Amino acid sequence: MILSVSNIHKSFNEIPVLKNVSFHIEDYDKTAIVGINGAGKTTLLRIIMGELSADEGIVTVSRDKTIGYLSQHEAVSGENTIYDELLSVKQEIITLEQKIRSIELQMKSASEDTLQQLMDSYATLTHAFESANGYAYKSELTGVLKGLGFTEEEFKRSVSTLSGGQKTRVALGKLLLLKPDLIILDEPTNHLDLSSITWLETYLLNYKGAVILVSHDRYFLDRIANKVVEIDQTKATVFTGNYSAYAVKKEALRATEYKAYLKQQHEIKHQEAVIEKLRSFNREKSIRRAESRVKMLDKIEVLDKPTEAHTDMHLKLEPKYTSGNDVLHVEDLSKSFGSLILFEHLSFELKKGEHVAIIGDNGTGKTTILKIINELIAPDTGKIRLGSNVAIGYYDQEHHVLHMDKTLFEEISDDYPALTNTEIRNTLAAFLFTGEDVFKQVKALSGGERGRVSLAKLMLSEANFLILDEPTNHLDIMSKEILEDALNAYTGTVLYVSHDRYFINKTASRILDLSGRKLTNYLGNYEYYLEKKETLNTTLSPDEISLAIPSVSDTKQNWKAQKEQLAAQRKKENELKKCEEIIEQLEQRNAEIDLLMASPQICTDVAKLQSLNQEKEANATSLIELYEKWELLSE
């Protein structure tokens, strides 16, 4: 065990945030901590790290175990280059290398008396250098930097010239190179693009230590986590498995709890009715029996009604008017900023009812495309043509559509003057702004709260063409799910940019991948995109992208075929997982047999030794077959 969290309590201004929170982290655990915004996830991490004291409870870290922590807003500072900043983590190896070089020079001119002593020191130092992966530390450092999205040209940039997000990526790189026994990451994917997130997933999956993650990226959690700690209404519940497994178990648990709550409430009401009836008899014997039942009721531990915060948020997207079949035509679009060419000669179309996601690395120009369509910036070349009766609703990740000095009430009433005061309050209440909250200024809101106001305005727009720029940024998981449901029920057309792969997988019917200044068209969701990307190595020309958009009937046929392919793929993945589990069980059993055979009680028992040896040989035969099966499935 690396970490034990036992009975943690924490309140702020007498309002409980955490109550009796307990869990433990074993070696190699990959644990996700989930919960809505404000549930206390970051508070818990700060308590674990000793940055914040708990009101009650104990955090225990095993002896000789190290912990590395990256907070949400942590960043590096100073005048070092990006490369030198990460190199500082390897100072111990650099010092060893310098000592080795120094001894090599000394040995050239050493006398016989001192040569043996130098050779002994040299052997000790080179062994330590090799054990610390000294021969590969520079390539390891370069790999981490490239994995986090830095190009070799950027390695020499001064840290002081970087953006906040880039500084956070440097801080993450330093932490990964430190290789503590336990890595704790708070929203690590916030400043990473898709390729960097994928690299980080692979890195953490193969990490020879334990990991604790706080993240709203459900795809990320699905790939990495084997344990989920949910913080819900101050309490912690531990679930085994990844995020998807947790979601299924959570729903089943909530259904069971709700059934138990209803059953208990029914029994309490029944007992209260019986007590009332016994008292109405007004006889000594019946009154004593009533009092006895009252005492029994008082001893009952009343179950709380299972609730889910944010279930009161209501988002319904419905167009006021129906657009024509041709919603958007983009032809020969190009855009540069100075010498930086973002994209050239892009052409694509959107048909009524399509839900299309634009994906790509940071800086490729995804948001720029949306701004050009919204006429916020001008293209260098190209034409944008909207279809008949098209009305745009725009969601901006920076919330520039909001006015910072206005109150929430003014933000709605000024844009929608036909609404009554009651209708405005009801709209804001649907997005969890009630009472005096409606008179808060927009600038006083958190990122998640501003996102909810932007969604409220989007709903009121009744647009038939939604253009969304990172709509899930700052939203907690439950709010994301509400948005997903609303988009899937929406009958209009959607074009959006997102790094949230789970969200894309749930809501996109087509993906446009912007890379190498060109667009590649994928007819399907994110899983389909991943499957097809390997087989589609060449980027389609703009004409091919336009031609690749099929009719609605073709789309249905293709989608049916894709679903069948995905089902077959999932079946193979399940077989692979099952095979891996059996291999792990047999290997663990063989390790147990080795320990048993070496124990004093069994090593003198010939019959038991023979039995164990036969079992081990049978396991070995099975393992050979399983390894071959695993190899075939992996391919």
Residue corresponding to tokens 């209260």: 272
The residues, ordered by sequence, that sit 6+ positions from 268 with a Cβ below 8 Å of its Cβ are 297, 300, 302
User: For residue range 459-493, what is the model confidence (pLDDT) as tens digits?
Assistant: 899 999 999 999 988 788 888 888 899 999 999 99
3-state helix, strand, coil in the chain (%, to 5): 50, 20, 30
Q: What's residue 290's pLDDT? A: 86
Axis-axis angle for helices 194-205, 164-178 (nearest 10):
20
Could you tell me the pLDDT band of residue 634, with boundaries at 50, 70 and 90?
low
Residue corresponding to tokens 């919603």: 327
CA distances from 551 to 28, 325, 390, 396, 506 (A): 49, 11, 20, 30, 21
Helical segments of 11-78, H only: 41-48
Choose among 552, 380, 559, 401: nearest CA to 471: 401
In contact, 498 and 370? CB cutoff 8 Å: no
* CA–CA gap between residue 490 and residue 500 (Å, rounded): 19
Q: What's residue 565's pLDDT? A: 72
Choose among 358, 394, 387: nearest CA to 510: 358
**pTM, full prediction:** 0.68
In contact, 82 and 154? CB cutoff 8 Å: yes
* CA–CA gap between residue 324 and residue 464 (Å, rounded): 10
The order of strands in the sheet holding 340-351 is 340-351, 326-337, 381-386
On the question of pLDDT at 221 being above 80, the answer is yes
Choices 3.50.30.30, 3.40.50.740, 3.40.50.300, 3.40.5.90: CATH for 326-550 = 3.40.50.300
Q: What's residue 410's pLDDT? A: 93
DSSP assignment of 331-381, as one string?
Answer: EEEEEEETTEEEEEEEEEEEETT-EEEEE--TTSSHHHHHHHHTTSS--SE
Ranges 130-139, 376-385, 573-582, most confident: 376-385
User: For residue range 54-99, what is the model confidence (pLDDT) as tens digits?
Assistant: 999 999 999 989 999 998 777 788 788 999 999 998 998 999 999 9
In contact, 209 and 181? CB cutoff 8 Å: yes
The residues, ordered by sequence, that sit 6+ positions from 68 with a Cβ below 8 Å of its Cβ are 175, 178, 180, 182, 183, 184
Residue corresponding to tokens 């050493």: 110
User: For residue range 325-342, what is the model confidence (pLDDT) as tens digits?
Assistant: 999 999 999 999 988 899
Q: What's the mean pLDDT in 598-622? A: 81
Of the chain, the percentage scoring pLDDT greater than 70 comes to 92
326-550 shares the fold of 1-66+180-241: yes
Choices 3.40.50.10420, 3.40.50.300, 3.20.20.10, 3.30.70.3270: CATH for 1-66+180-241 = 3.40.50.300
In contact, 221 and 32? CB cutoff 8 Å: yes
Can you give the residue ranges of every domain in the chain?
1-66+180-241, 80-177, 248-299, 326-550, 564-634
Buried b vs exposed e over 464-495: b needs ≥16 C-beta within 10 Å? bbbbbbbbbbbbbbbbbbbbbebbeebebbbb
Q: Give the Cβ contact number of residue 185 at 10 Å.
A: 22
Element spanning 186, H or E: strand 182-186
CA 579 distance to own-chain centroid: 27
